[in-house]
């Protein structure tokens, strides 16, 4: 992109400058190798749904992903096993407790959710494989497909956590006791430690986040990494549980699905817009990176990205209405059978444009409702400028047109976008 118009990079550079002076927070040291991180390392990256990449600061520094791997491994388990099987074994409720809490349900013995350690260890163990080697290979491969390149393991960090991670080991044994974990707890924890030690840059992480925001399709490589319903479920869990006991405050102030990790990584997803990642090892008291949280608060506010913020309505759905004949009258309407009934007059013409979803279909159908007269008569619906119809809109339109036909109205469709399924050029209802 021409540097002169690259205002996204400019915005990231501004964020970098403003947040780099924040020096509150501590580098995690309960995994000794992580304590060696440079506390002032700070990188930001953003990747759009078109695969455009933007970055600022130390974007080439590789760091271990730690808990940021959790949503992506959850996606793998959901894709492999299906939602029912996964949610039978792990809950989806925010625990309101620290990431390493012993959050096991008193009745079911299940971990509270897959974003805390207990749930993540259980989910990692669910990934189908003949043994731990194959299981980790599948996890590494999947993380690489999310990132768009093969990733590797920081062996020193893995060793360091394996030597000191007794709390996680204890969690795994407890879960075997409650029935939440099948198989050997030591093996399950070691695979989880290796997963936490997978290394990537903040730019890789932004591609991973963008893949979740893009319905599971990596916007850089074009690969469908996981099915769209899986990406939706993972984002939902990130939104409620991704920031540990800071999740409520995060939703209040930032309002985006996100996940943090103890090495200072943080991903956030603006669904259908972009993925963003920050790396900064100084952590606040709940284990979230101080500069990352500050940067994401500002991004969300400045760009109006809070999920509960109502975006301005899209372009008008109904672009013309009137009686007599299809608006452009340029002879393209030959397929329209409205005039072959032997002299009947068209009483209404409606034209729609853009992508039809629930809200757009509602707008179109309320205009259609007004344009059909009480007495049965023909209506022309011109959909030539409709660019997409989602499943909800298609069902709504089909149902409405069938109802009109049942009441004796004749509705004629013009437009090729709906040329498959129940929609045909010139189809009459």
Q: By the 8 A CB rule, do 196 and 151 touch? A: no
- Closest distance to ligand GLN from the beta carbon of 31 (Å): 6
* Nearest CB to ligand GLN, comparing residues 113 and 117: 117
100 binds ligand GLN (CB under 6 A): yes
* Nearest CB to ligand GLN, comparing residues 67 and 382: 67
196 binds ligand GLN (CB under 6 A): yes
Q: By the 8 A CB rule, do 384 and 416 touch? A: yes
Active site residue 192: yes
103 binds ligand GLN (CB under 6 A): no
Q: By the 8 A CB rule, do 362 and 394 touch? A: no
Count the residues in the chain.
429
Active site residue 244: yes
Q: Which of 47, 127, 217, 262 is catalytic?
A: 262
Active site residue 70: yes
191 binds ligand GLN (CB under 6 A): no
Q: By the 8 A CB rule, do 199 and 221 touch? A: no
* Nearest CB to ligand GLN, comparing residues 100 and 233: 100
Footprint of ligand GLN on 255-284 (CB under 6 A): 261-262
- Closest distance to ligand GLN from the beta carbon of 177 (Å): 19
CA dist., res. 94 & res. 1, Å (int): 41
Burial code (b: 16+ CB inside 10 Å, e: under 16) for 353-374 equals: beebbeebbebbbebbeebbee
Structure tokens, 247: 């999740």
Q: Which of 54, 86, 160, 192 is catalytic?
A: 192
Active site residue 16: no
Binding residues for ligand GLN, how many (CB under 6 A)? Answer: 11
Structure tokens, 194: 């290796």
How many other CB atoms sit within 10 Å of the CB of residue 35? 14
Helix axis angle for 290-302 and 7-19, nearest 10°, is 140
- Closest distance to ligand GLN from the beta carbon of 265 (Å): 8
Q: Give SS3 for 415.
A: coil
* Nearest CB to ligand GLN, comparing residues 66 and 191: 66
Pattern 147-186, binding to ligand GLN, x per CB under 6 A?
--------------x------x------------------
- Closest distance to ligand GLN from the beta carbon of 196 (Å): 4
**Residue 70 burial by Cβ neighbours in a 10 Å radius (0-12, 13-18, 19+):** buried
Residue whose Cβ sits closest to ligand GLN = 67
- Closest distance to ligand GLN from the beta carbon of 240 (Å): 16
Please state, in angstroms and as integers, the Cα–Cα distance from residue 107 to each residue in 157, 241, 317, 334, 390, following that order. Answer: 36, 21, 51, 67, 41
Q: By the 8 A CB rule, do 148 and 214 touch? A: no
Footprint of ligand GLN on 19-38 (CB under 6 A): none
Q: By the 8 A CB rule, do 152 and 141 touch? A: no
117 binds ligand GLN (CB under 6 A): yes
66 binds ligand GLN (CB under 6 A): yes
Q: Please give the backbone phi and psi of residue 24, each rounded to the nearest 5 degrees, phi first.
A: -75, 165
67 binds ligand GLN (CB under 6 A): yes
Cross-strand bridge partners of residue 413 = 381
* Nearest CB to ligand GLN, comparing residues 66 and 201: 66
Q: Which of 70, 207, 226, 260 is catalytic?
A: 70
Residue with tokens 């990747």: 47
Q: Which of 16, 47, 67, 220 is catalytic?
A: 67
Helix axis angle for 132-147 and 70-81, nearest 10°, is 110
Cross-strand bridge partners of residue 275 = 47, 269
287 binds ligand GLN (CB under 6 A): yes
Q: Which of 47, 244, 259, 386 is catalytic?
A: 244
Residue with tokens 């030690």: 197
Footprint of ligand GLN on 69-88 (CB under 6 A): none
57 binds ligand GLN (CB under 6 A): no
* Nearest CB to ligand GLN, comparing residues 220 and 283: 283
* Nearest CB to ligand GLN, comparing residues 243 and 318: 243
How many other CB atoms sit within 10 Å of the CB of residue 209? 32
Q: Which positions are annotated as active-site residues?
A: 67, 70, 192, 244, 262
Query: Which stretches of the chain bind ligand GLN, using CB under 6 A?
Result: 66-67, 99-100, 117, 161, 168, 196, 261-262, 287
């Amino acid at each position: 992109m021409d540097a002169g118009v690259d205002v996204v990079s400019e915005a990231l550079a501004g964020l970098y400058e403003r947040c780099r002076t924040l020096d509150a927070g501590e580098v995690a040291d309960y995994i000794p190798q992580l304590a060696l991180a440079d506390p002032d390392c700070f990188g930001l990256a953003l990747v759009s749904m078109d695969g455009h990449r933007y970055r600022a600061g130390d974007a080439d520094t590789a760091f271990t992903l730690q808990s940021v791997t959790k949503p992506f491994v959850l996606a793998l388990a959901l894709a492999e096993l299906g939602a029912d099987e996964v949610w039978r074994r792990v809950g989806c409720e925010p625990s309101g407790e620290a990431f390493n809490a012993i959050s096991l349900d008193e009745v079911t013995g299940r971990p509270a959710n897959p974003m805390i350690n207990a749930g993540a260890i259980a989910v990692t163990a669910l990934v189908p494989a003949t043994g731990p080697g194959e299981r980790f290979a599948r996890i590494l491969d999947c993380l690489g497909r999310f990132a768009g390149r093969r990733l590797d393991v920081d062996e020193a960090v893995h060793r360091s956590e394996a030597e000191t991670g007794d709390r996680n080991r204890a969690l795994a044994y407890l879960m075997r006791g409650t029935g939440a974990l099948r198989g050997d707890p030591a093996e399950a924890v070691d695979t989880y430690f290796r997963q936490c030690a997978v290394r990537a840059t903040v730019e890789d992480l932004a591609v991973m986040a963008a893949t979740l925001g893009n319905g599971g399709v990596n916007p850089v490589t074009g690969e469908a990494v996981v099915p769209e319903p899986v990406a939706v479920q993972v984002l939902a869990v990130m939104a409620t549980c991704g920031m540990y006991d800071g999740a409520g405050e995060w939703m209040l102030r930032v309002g985006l699905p996100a996940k943090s990790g103890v090495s200072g990584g943080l991903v956030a997803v603006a669904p259908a817009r972009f993925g963003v990642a920050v790396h900064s090892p100084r952590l606040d008291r709940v284990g979230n990176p101080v500069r990352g949280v500050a940067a994401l608060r500002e991004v969300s506010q400045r760009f109006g990205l809070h999920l509960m913020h109502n975006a301005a309505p899209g372009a008008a759905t109904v672009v013309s209405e009137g009686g007599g004949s299809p608006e452009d009258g340029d002879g393209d309407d030959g397929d329209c059978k409205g005039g072959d009934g032997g002299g009947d007059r068209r009483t209404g013409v409606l034209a729609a444009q853009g992508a039809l979803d629930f809200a757009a279909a509602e707008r179109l159908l309320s205009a259609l409702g007004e344009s059909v007269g009480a007495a049965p008569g023909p209506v022309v619906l011109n959909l030539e400028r409709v660019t997409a119809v989602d499943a909800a809109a298609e069902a709504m339109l089909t149902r409405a047109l069938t109802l009109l036909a049942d009441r004796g109205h004749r509705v004629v469709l013009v437009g090729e976008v709906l040329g498959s399924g129940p929609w045909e050029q010139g189809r009459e209802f």
